[in-house]
Amino acid sequence: MRYLLLHSVVLLSMQLGAQNRPPAISSPDVHPDHSISFRYFSRTASRVLVKGEFLKSPVPMTKDTSGIWSVTVPPVQPDIYPYSFMVDSVDMADPNNTYVFANERFKRSIVNIPGDQPLIHSLQEVPHGKISYHLYESSTLGTTRPLLVYTPPGYSYDAKQNTPCFT
Using a 10 angstrom Cβ sphere, with 0-12 exposed, 13-18 middle and 19 or more buried, the burial of residue 3 is exposed
Tell me what the pLDDT averaged over the chain comes to: 86
- The confidence score (pLDDT) of residue 155 equals 85
Closest to 157 in 3D by CA, of 136, 137, 132: 132
- The H or E element spanning position 9 is helix 2-20
Does the model's pTM come out above 0.75? no
Dist. CA 32–CA 128, nearest whole Å: 31
The domains of the chain, with CATH numbers, are: 25-113 (2.60.40.10), 130-166 (no CATH)
68-113 per-position pLDDT tens digit: 999 999 999 999 999 999 999 999 999 999 998 877 677 789 999 9
